Amino acid sequence: MKRRALNALIEQAQRVRDDAALRVAGAHRDAEAAQRTLDTLSSYRDEQARATAQRVEIGPALLRVRERFARKLDGAIDEQTRVRSGLQEAIERRRAELVERQQRLLAFRTLQTRRDEADVRRRERIAQRETDEIAARSATRRNGGEK
């Protein structure tokens, strides 16, 4: 694989990895928003429970309204809990994707590093061979000149 093609693959892998990181961050934001909504609903339910526990005399109509509200609130809390759980699962999937993308990028970078190191070793061998040839010619000239 040519250097230019490998560099293009590395750049693409970086973009894909960065996109995956953005998706993880977005999933975190969504999950945090869902948690805040769940916390708000839970605090409403707690307030409702405190109001009911005060044992204030209320009429049957108001009691039915409070009970309906409590049921709707419980339903909303259950639904928001499911939403939050789904978003937590999405975070885990996105993290796994990010890890996979990072590993792919690392593999390309490792390949590039190995190729660069091989190029350096090849150049060093060529330079050593040239030095050895110069030394051999010089020795031949000295030995030839001494005869």
Quick one: pLDDT band at residue 65, thresholds 50, 70, 90? confident
How many domains does the chain fold into? 1
Average pLDDT over residues 19-31: 97
**What confidence tier does 51 reach under pLDDT thresholds 50, 70, 90?**
confident
- 41 contacts 136 by C-beta, under 8 angstroms: no
CB 31 within 8 A of CB 84: yes
| Dist CA 77 CA 40 (whole Å) | 9
Digit-coded pLDDT (tens) for 106-123 = 999 999 999 999 999 999
What DSSP line would sit under 79-141, residue for residue? HHHHHHHHHHHHHHHHHHHHHHHHHHHHHHHHHHHHHHHHHHHHHHHHHHHHHHHHHHHHHHH
Domain membership flag for residue 136: no
| Structural domain for 37, as ranges | 3-113
Is 129 domain-assigned?
A: no
pTM listed for this prediction: 0.72
